[in-house]
Amino acid sequence: MQLNAPLDMHLHLRDNEMLHNIAKASAETFAGALVMPNLVPPVSTKEEVVSYKKRIVDAIGNETFTPYMTLFFKPTYNRDFLEGVRDEIAAIKLYPAGITTNSEGGVSGFDAEELRPALEAMSDLGIPLCIHGETNGFVMDREAEFVSIYEKLAGAFPKLKIIMEHITTKESVAALDRYENLYATITVHHLLITLDDVAGGMLQPHLFCKPIAKRPEDREALLKVALEAHPKVMFGSDSAPHPKEAKEACGCAAGVFTAPIALQLLAELFENRGASLEKLQAFVSGNAQQIYGIKPLQKTVVLKKKPFRVPSSYSGVVPMFANEEIAYSLKEVIDGQPC
């Protein structure tokens, strides 16, 4: 099975030692990824974007991989600032304040008029807005409650391309077709697990993430649009590494680390569900190219149907399905020149 120029449109690479430890796990098999800006402090200036990109490039070495950079959204961004940084970024990421890892400096209110100067400038400049869509309500309802905010913003800024990040609910799936300018990323772990896998028996800390996995009917809604490669959805792993001691602890850190095995898991899932290679190719690359208007580096990833035992850890980070066997292995990666 061959996948051409696979893209991960939602990835956490962290910084410093963690960046150097795990960046190659994505760069080995993906042609590029949209890199999240929620460092400490967050990436919020042009200088910080350029510096972070350089650190990523240094960490991946000779791998054929493009880090598509993002800014941490601030309502104070104006047109002059955005015009100056536009060529360095692929999108801007909005976090509700305090709702997930390193999001304390995010947005506290979603009044369209207060956000208008920044969002209208983004609309005019063609800069997509990525949103972690959760309220601070009951944990199972947070994403469904946020759909009304997505709709308010989509209606108020019809030229603004809005990406609903790592969607997990049937309500978010339904919103895709109600507004022309709404799009979404979907993770592999949300296609595979429900809340029962996380907490139905013994608590599984390495499956705990935000947004939390939901109900079986939500997973089925996600599977439907992913397996048919709905043109408004694309793969985003939300692969989020934490040290083992931060996951297996009181106050378990939120995040599932899937970067080294994401493509293998997707190949198995699409095959088991009877979806074609063409649909998988669209989900992991073609749709993202259309939505973001990007031309990735040429890179062919060859997978083979041979059992692979997932390592217990990657440089101290425990992956999803650690020590378990999955159906597909990585055979080879063929690098090329820009498409």
pLDDT reported for residue 102? 79
Look at residues 127, 292, 139, 283 and name the one whose alpha carbon lies nearest to residue 209.
Answer: 139
Q: What is the mean pLDDT of each run of 10 residues along the chain (339 residues)?
A: 97 98 97 96 97 98 97 96 98 90 82 93 98 95 96 97 98 97 98 97 96 98 98 98 96 96 98 97 98 96 98 97 98 75
Residue ranges covered by each domain of the chain: 2-338
- What's the one-letter identity of residue 201? G
Q: Which residues are catalytic?
A: 238
Helix (H) or strand (E) holding 118: helix 112-125
Beta carbons of 186 and 166 less than 8 angstroms apart: yes
Burial of 10 (0-12, 13-18, 19+ CB in 10 A): buried
Beta strand pairing call for 182-186 and 162-164: parallel
Helix (H, G, I), strand (E, B) or coil at 234: strand
Give residue for tokens 């983004």.
122
268 HSE (CA, 13 A, CB side): 19
Residue 48 makes CB contacts below 8 A (sequence gap 6+) with none
Q: What CATH architecture applies to the domain 2-338?
A: Alpha-Beta Barrel (3.20)
Residue 196 makes CB contacts below 8 A (sequence gap 6+) with none
| Prediction pTM value | 0.96
pLDDT reported for residue 115? 94
pLDDT reported for residue 98? 81
Distance CA 1, CA 97 (A): 42
